[in-house]
Amino acid sequence: MENSFTEENYLKAIYKLSRKGDSGVSTNALAERMDTKASSATDMIKRLSTKKLVDHKKYQGVTLTEKGRKVAVDIIRKHRLWEVFLVEHLGFGWDEVHDVAEQLEHISSPLLVERLDRFLNHPKYDPHGGPIPDAEGNFPAPARIKLDELPLGKQSKVLGVTEHSDSFLAYLKKVGLDLGQAFTLTDRHDFDRSVEILLNGETLHVSHDVAKHIFVAN
């Protein structure tokens, strides 16, 4: 009942594609991500489906089952732990680690992962800032602050809000500040405490009244 490297890579891809876009992952999107053909993706979807790692209805896209999610998150955990090791102990640059970690993430040994985690002192984030899930698959609560406290020039993304009125949410939707939306804080105006952010190539002006209600990644 072992999963092949390929199966693991598909599961990871499905997991990541699920994050953005809430519904099932399309065959095409998956194939593109895996740098392969749609027919190959279909084949793999069937295989994963018989192993109860994904749910799939024909022409409807795939979603991970709880079992599949566990596998995917565990791969991510291993990937990020190895990245920490490579950068902090072997002197790799943050841009050199990905390909190697891509191989190491498939090493199958719970004992190894546990001891590596301890050796690294239970890191919560990888060298790119990616959160490292624990052995149970829980991600650390993301460090978050309000948008009006974000340092100038910092990249971030929307994590949540403290104001839930329809009009506020409608406004956010209209200007494109959806949950998970990435942006960069490009300017800050002290006179009214408003900020300017760059999202999807557009500059957006955000008043302090709005900014103070938005949680963003730190």
Partner DNA sequence: ATTAATTTTTAGACTTATCTAAATTTTGTT
Partner DNA sequence: AACAAAATTTAGATAAGTCTAAAAATTAAT
Give the residues lining the site for DNA (CB under 7 A).
4-7, 26-29, 34, 36-47, 56, 58-61
| Residue 24 or 127 with smaller CB distance to DNA | 24
Contacted entry of DNA, a copy of itself, none for residue 196, CB cut-off 5 to 8 Å set by kind: none
| Residue 31 or 76 with smaller CB distance to DNA | 31
Q: Which amino acid is located at 112 in the chain?
A: L
Q: Measure the CA–CA gap between 211 and 185, rounded to whole angstroms.
A: 11
Sorted by sequence, the CB contacts under 8 Å of residue 62 that are 6+ apart come out as 14, 24, 25, 27, 30, 45, 48, 49, 54, 55, 56
Q: Write down the residue that tokens 């994590």 correspond to.
A: 159
| Residue 41 or 87 with smaller CB distance to DNA | 41
Contacted entry of DNA, a copy of itself, none for residue 98, CB cut-off 5 to 8 Å set by kind: none
Based on the shown chain and the rule CB under 8 A, indicate whether residue 38 belongs to the binding site for a copy of itself.
no
Q: Measure the CA–CA gap between 48 and 34, rounded to whole angstroms.
A: 15
| Residue 52 or 115 with smaller CB distance to a copy of itself | 115
Based on the shown chain and the rule CB under 8 A, indicate whether residue 91 belongs to the binding site for a copy of itself.
yes
Q: Measure the CA–CA gap between 62 and 44, rounded to whole angstroms.
A: 11
